[in-house]
Amino acid sequence: MSKWTGKSRGGVIGYSFFVYTIKWFGVSAAYTLLGIVYPFYYWFEKDKKANLVNFYKTVGLDSKTTKKVIKKNFKLLGQCLIDRIAFLIGKDKYYTFSMDGEQNLLDISKTGKGGLLLSAHLGNWEIAGNLLKKRGINANINILMLDAEHKQIKKFLAHQTNGDLFKVIPITDDFSYLVKLKEAISKNELICLHGDRYLDGSKTIEKEFFGRKTNFGSGPFEIGARLNVPVCIVFAMKTSKRHYALSASKIIDNSSVQEISDLYISTLESLVKEYPEQWFNYYDYFEKDTSS
């Protein structure tokens, strides 16, 4: 997983196009327009498609199924982005959602120790953060993430929308974000971050993922162990146009890096098998196999 740069693609024009469409004509109109736009990405993003082919081959999908899944993947990514914008501009009432393991999240906020919510770029993690607040999770939710989006896009979205229902703690080179993490934990707040990506030079841990030895960034798992906070694995999967299924794993407390990473990998692998079309990592995920 050494090809990820930490930056997302897209521009202000693309974002504004869908923001105004949703505001003036609704989510359904945005979905219709997406049906015209996403095929261009499907046909011309050859590198991304090739990386997905390699990933799905490792997961165990045959060639015919892989082709269908990849096409659906590009479409669902666009829908997830539309859904994110819809939530931010107050259109969330048009969506429904279910929750498996909700009590786990309610319990984690009662410990008084804060908590770590681990997720991945599988499903719609932005929706997960927003829905958790709406489910009565009283603790503040902080998203730890690379602050790599273009400033123009961030400024545009902040002006046009109601803003996220959670706070962002940007990862910085001077490690000042660690102070903010500890401050949030001391206030019994929740920290949400992703364990499925890392940048070159980051400390890693080798795990078996779909039968392949794969490097994962060790930082997310070490945070839970070193801060001694309860950890829960959280995902939001899109099951229909207007419905999301949220899941929260059992809570593990006083846990080691090994325990946290084992639970994370097993949960991630299970959900990828169930929702392969919602795997939104578009780079060469696995290390090259040099054994043959």
- Other Cβ atoms closer than 10 A to 67: 14
- Dist CA 288 CA 212 (whole Å): 10
Helices (H) and strands (E) in the chain, counts: 10, 9
Q: What is the pLDDT of residue 6?
A: 47
Burial of 221 (0-12, 13-18, 19+ CB in 10 A): buried
Q: What is the pLDDT of residue 150?
A: 45
Check: CB of residue 130 under 8 Å from CB of residue 244: no
- Other Cβ atoms closer than 10 A to 256: 13
- Dist CA 228 CA 185 (whole Å): 10
Look at the block and give the residue holding tokens 């693309």.
14
223-250 residues labelled b (16+ CB within 10 A) or e (exposed) = bbbebebbbbbbbbbbeeeeebbbbbbe
User: Checking phi first, is residue 247 left (phi over 0); if not, alpha (psi -120 to 50) or beta?
Assistant: beta
Q: What is the pLDDT of residue 163?
A: 55
Q: What is the pLDDT of residue 111?
A: 80
User: How much is the CA Rg of the chain, to the nearest whole Å?
Assistant: 19
The partner residues of 227 in beta bridges, in order of sequence, read none
Q: What is the pLDDT of residue 159?
A: 53
The distance of Cα 36 from the centroid of its chain, to the nearest Å, equals 25
Phi first, then psi, for residue 278 (nearest 5°) are -105, 25
Q: How far does the chain reach from its first CA to its final CA, in angstroms?
A: 20
Q: What is the DSSP letter of 173?
A: T
Nearest alpha carbon to residue 149 among 265, 5, 264, 261 = 5
3-state secondary structure of 53: helix
Label the pairing between strands 212-217 and 204-209: antiparallel
Label the pairing between strands 243-248 and 96-100: parallel
Q: What is the mean pLDDT of each run of 10 residues along the chain (292 residues)?
A: 48 64 88 88 89 94 95 93 84 88 84 89 82 68 67 53 64 78 88 86 90 91 89 94 92 90 96 97 74 40
Q: What is the pLDDT of residue 275?
A: 97
